[in-house]
């Protein structure tokens, strides 16, 4: 005990005695600070990303078919038959999983994607006009309804005039022979007094002409890719507590419907001019950017001031007059051209942006349709089924939802939620309605079912017991009679009104299922037990953690951690070499001192312990200083937060800011690494010190 006390005293006495020790201490200081800071940041990102993945879509554990050709990847890809095999029924899966005492809920899922036409302004206006004519035919032409029809007719006629103006402008830029004569003739007809005078004689025929000949000439529409998740919407909302409906209301239990993501709704379905104004405001208010200094904001301003057609096309003659009057007053201008007024109004600067932003939403937006799709509308989704054919489903939009803290994350918020019945129909599985419809058609047509192996004989064999005869039906098919006949094809309205039982929802196919645990701290143990479950193996299920289910995104922190430890490893190799050389120099300088100690009776073990203990003390002191600085830095970051500078970082930070936390493991790992490397690099110089002969050392000049 006395020797240890003496060694400690010697170690602290020599701590700052040599410049070499100061150099070694500084070398130890920076790696320890890096280990604490880097480890704490990565651990915090890991925890935050875990919250994002578990709370947004994956749950704690995911199960899917063991027959799948590829691994499940809930984020960043379109899941379909090529990668994840379908599970024919969710009921036995749910029953088997809920037997585990730590399983709280099991949520059925399936993800896919589709391109939907957002429709240009002419298309949307004509669709509303067609609906009004249908309503007038069924309910009668009330004065109010007639006024709406006349307003939309005037709007369509104005759109034709705007398209004609664009054609005139195009003539200046391209050769005359580049203009399509048929398009020009169609525009002339749509602008003529005779066409509109005779419009009501055959409104549906006139609308068909406008839809086929005029609407395609308007180029302000585009295709929108949407990613959707088919699920039990009621169970999903109860299981994922970060989910919040911000507009509209939930899809009624058991009904067909869809909830659009707030991110998708704002980013892709909002008026482009309004969206760019929002982005400028967010950049100025949150990130303290300026239009004058930021090229991206300058691009937004230029696009808004030059691309005014989206607004001009939306306004009918009356609203155009109102918009012109408001803009003339705001700009103190006598200009009568709406496009020019809009261009001047939207050419904002840092000085007038806040005022113009407020005026835009107060003066112009009430005259416009701010979103292409509104709550209550039905959206037609067309997707490729598992067999490769195209399937379409009309789904009503009930509301807009978001995951709290992940509102701006394209990774977590790009998925729209759809009821399972509609998802299955799009995926190509026969719903009960489809089966009933096919049975009705087979019964009415007298079609005979023939086995695959008997098909050739049934079609071409003379001695076939089954005679296939095709009988032509004279006259035209009465579509209304076919639709309204009992047992015939079900109307779309009837499908949307139908309420499905929980048994029907859970009894059909799914692609995967999310498991929410009662005690998340037992995730690893629960995962291992489920993976070993014979019942799940019998159901041919693959059980994976949230990290595996997230695909490459789930491995992000692991890859970043490998990069960090790779850097630390390289750094410590360099540190090891430097400390080794420095301690070697310090040992050479202390040859006389060591020899004197040996001469007065110090054993080699004492010399070895002295050199090693000095290095340990050096590592503890300077490593502690480095760890202290790193800890203070993390504490400061926890107070102020690290802002998510891009939308992608919202997902990794689980919100707009990352608030790092320091764990005891970060400090312990720093001390272990620093002291371990320091001691290891000191062994050889310490060994040399024990080899010094007392006589030789005493004879050495200082």
Is the model more confident about 77 or about 362?
A: 362
**Position 527 pLDDT exceeds 90:** yes
Q: Of 46-50, 309-313, 574-578, give the lowest mean pLDDT range.
A: 574-578
Q: Which residue from 491, 469, 471, 492 is spatially nearest to 482, judged by alpha carbons?
A: 491
Please tell me the distance from the alpha carbon of residue 555 to that of residue 548, in angstroms, as a whole number.
Answer: 8
Number of neighbouring beta carbons within 10 Å of residue 250: 16
Q: Which residue from 571, 647, 415 is spatially nearest to 32, judged by alpha carbons?
A: 571
According to the per-residue pLDDT averaged within each range, which of 113-127, 143-157, 347-361 is highest?
347-361
Q: Of 94-108, 191-205, 213-227, 407-421, give the lowest mean pLDDT range.
A: 213-227
User: What average pLDDT does this structure show over 32-39?
Assistant: 85
Give percent of the chain with pLDDT exceeding 90: 26
Please tell me the distance from the alpha carbon of residue 357 to that of residue 281, in angstroms, as a whole number.
Answer: 8
Instruction: Using pLDDT thresholds of 50, 70 and 90, give the confidence band for residue 456.
Output: low
Please tell me the distance from the alpha carbon of residue 185 to that of residue 181, in angstroms, as a whole number.
Answer: 6
User: What average pLDDT does this structure show over 376-395?
Assistant: 81
Give percent of the chain with pLDDT exceeding 70: 75
Is the model more confident about 274 or about 12?
A: 274
- DSSP letters for 210-242: IIIIIGGG-----EEEEEEEEE-HHHHHHH-TT
Q: Which residue from 539, 478, 463 is spatially nearest to 96, judged by alpha carbons?
A: 539
The overall average pLDDT reported for the chain is 79
What would the two tokens of residue 556 be? 């992000």
Is the model more confident about 85 or about 448?
A: 85
Contact 481, 489 (CB under 8 A): no
Place of tokens 């525009």: 187
Measured in whole angstroms, the distance separating CA 200 from the mean position of its chain's CA atoms is: 48
What would the two tokens of residue 283 be? 């950049």
Instruction: Using pLDDT thresholds of 50, 70 and 90, give the confidence band for residue 126.
Output: confident
Please tell me the distance from the alpha carbon of residue 461 to that of residue 455, in angstroms, as a whole number.
Answer: 9
Instruction: Using pLDDT thresholds of 50, 70 and 90, give the confidence band for residue 557.
Output: low
Bridge partners (DSSP) listed for residue 117:
223
User: What average pLDDT does this structure show over 395-400?
Assistant: 94
Measured in whole angstroms, the distance separating CA 39 from the mean position of its chain's CA atoms is: 27
Please tell me the distance from the alpha carbon of residue 589 to that of residue 583, in angstroms, as a whole number.
Answer: 10
What would the two tokens of residue 89 be? 């029924």
Q: Of 66-80, 152-166, 656-670, give the lowest mean pLDDT range.
A: 66-80
**Position 471 pLDDT exceeds 50:** no
User: Cβ contacts of residue 448 below 8 Å, gap of 6+?
Assistant: 466, 468
Is the model more confident about 304 or about 485?
A: 304
Is the model more confident about 2 or about 122?
A: 122
According to the per-residue pLDDT averaged within each range, which of 340-349, 365-374, 476-485, 625-634 is highest?
340-349
Please return the burial class of 109, using the count of CB atoms within 10 Å of its CB with bins 0-12, 13-18 and 19+.
buried
**Position 506 pLDDT exceeds 50:** yes
User: Cβ contacts of residue 247 below 8 Å, gap of 6+?
Assistant: 262, 375, 399, 400
Instruction: Using pLDDT thresholds of 50, 70 and 90, give the confidence band for residue 693.
Output: low
pLDDT of the residue at 61:
94
DSSP state of 352: T
DSSP state of 544: E
**Position 99 pLDDT exceeds 80:** yes
**Position 478 pLDDT exceeds 50:** no
Phi, psi dihedrals of residue 607, rounded to the nearest 5°: -65, -45
Contact 219, 120 (CB under 8 A): yes
Please tell me the distance from the alpha carbon of residue 452 to that of residue 529, in angstroms, as a whole number.
Answer: 44
pLDDT of the residue at 472:
42
pLDDT of the residue at 519:
94
pLDDT of the residue at 470:
44
Please tell me the distance from the alpha carbon of residue 333 to that of residue 71, in angstroms, as a whole number.
Answer: 62
Please tell me the distance from the alpha carbon of residue 273 to that of residue 311, in angstroms, as a whole number.
Answer: 8
């Amino acid at each position: 005990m006395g020797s240890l006390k003496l060694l400690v005293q010697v170690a602290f006495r020599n701590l700052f005695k040599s410049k070499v020790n100061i150099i070694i201490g500084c070398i130890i200081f920076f790696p320890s600070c890096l280990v604490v800071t880097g480890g704490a940041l990565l651990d915090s990102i890991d925890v935050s990303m875990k919250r994002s993945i578990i709370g947004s879509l994956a749950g704690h554990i995911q199960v899917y078919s063991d027959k799948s050709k590829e691994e499940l990847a809930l984020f960043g890809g379109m899941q379909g038959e090529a990668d994840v095999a379908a599970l024919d029924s969710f009921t036995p899966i749910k029953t088997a999983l809920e037997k585990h005492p730590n399983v709280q809920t099991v949520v059925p899922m399936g993800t896919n994607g589709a391109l939907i036409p957002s429709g240009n302004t002419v298309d949307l206006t004509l669709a509303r006009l067609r609906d009004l004519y249908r309503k007038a035919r069924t309910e009668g032409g009330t004065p109010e309804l007639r006024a709406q029809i006349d307003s939309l007719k005037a709007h369509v006629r104005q759109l034709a005039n705007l398209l004609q103006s664009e054609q005139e402008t195009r003539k200046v830029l391209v050769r005359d022979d580049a203009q399509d004569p048929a398009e020009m003739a169609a525009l002339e007809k749509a602008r003529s007094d005779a066409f509109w005078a005779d419009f009501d004689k055959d409104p549906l025929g006139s609308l068909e002409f406008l839809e086929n000949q005029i609407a395609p000439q308007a180029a302000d529409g585009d295709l929108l890719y949407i990613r959707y998740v088919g699920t039990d919407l009621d169970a999903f909302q109860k299981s994922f507590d970060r989910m919040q409906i911000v507009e509209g209301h939930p899809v009624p239990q058991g009904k067909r419907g869809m909830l659009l993501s707030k991110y998708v709704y704002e980013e892709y379905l909002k008026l482009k001019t309004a969206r760019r104004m929002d982005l400028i405001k967010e950049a100025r208010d949150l990130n303290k950017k300026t239009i004058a200094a930021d090229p991206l904001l300058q691009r937004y301003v230029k696009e808004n001031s030059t691309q005014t057609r989206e607004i001009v096309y939306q306004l009918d003659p009356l609203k155009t007059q109102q918009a012109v009057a408001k803009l003339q007053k705001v700009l103190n201008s006598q200009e009568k051209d709406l496009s020019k007024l809009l261009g001047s109004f939207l050419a904002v600067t840092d000085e007038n942006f806040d005022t113009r932003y407020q005026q835009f939403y107060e003066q112009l937006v009430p005259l416009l349709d701010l979103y292409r799709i509104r709550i209550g509308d039905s959206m037609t989704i067309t997707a490729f089924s598992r067999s490769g054919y195209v399937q379409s489903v009309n789904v009503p939009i009930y509301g807009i939802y978001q995951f709290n803290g992940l509102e701006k994350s394209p990774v977590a918020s790009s998925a729209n939620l759809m009821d399972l019945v509609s998802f299955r129909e799009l995926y190509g599985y026969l719903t009960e309605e489809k089966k009933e419809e096919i049975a009705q058609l087979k019964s009415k047509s007298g079609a005979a079912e023939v086995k695959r192996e008997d098909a050739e004989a049934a079609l071409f064999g003379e001695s076939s017991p089954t005679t296939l005869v095709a009988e032509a039906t004279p006259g035209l098919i009465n579509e209304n009679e076919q639709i309204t006949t009992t047992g015939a094809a079900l109307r779309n309205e009837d499908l949307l009104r139908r309420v499905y039982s929980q048994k029907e929802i859970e009894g059909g196919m799914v692609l995967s299922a999310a498991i929410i645990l009662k005690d998340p701290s037992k995730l690893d143990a629960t995962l291992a037990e489920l993976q070993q479950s014979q019942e799940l193996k019998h159901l041919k299920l693959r059980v994976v953690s949230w990290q595996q289910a997230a695909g490459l995104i789930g491995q992000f922190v692991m890859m970043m951690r490998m990069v960090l430890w790779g850097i630390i490893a390289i750094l410590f190799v360099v540190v090891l070499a430097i400390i080794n050389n420095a301690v070697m120099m310090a040992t050479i300088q202390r040859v006389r001192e060591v020899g004197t100690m040996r001469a007065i009776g110090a054993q080699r073990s004492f010399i070895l312990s002295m050199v090693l203990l000095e290095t340990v003390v050096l590592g503890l002191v300077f490593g502690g200083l480095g760890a202290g600085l790193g800890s203070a830095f993390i504490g400061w970051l926890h107070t102020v937060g690290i802002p998510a500078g891009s939308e992608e970082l919202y997902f990794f930070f689980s919100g707009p800011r990352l608030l790092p936390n320091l764990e005891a493991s970060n400090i312990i790992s720093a001390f272990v690494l620093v002291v371990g490397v320091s001691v290891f690099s000191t062994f050889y110089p310490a060994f040399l010190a024990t080899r010094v002969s007392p006589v030789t050392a005493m004879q050495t000049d200082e």
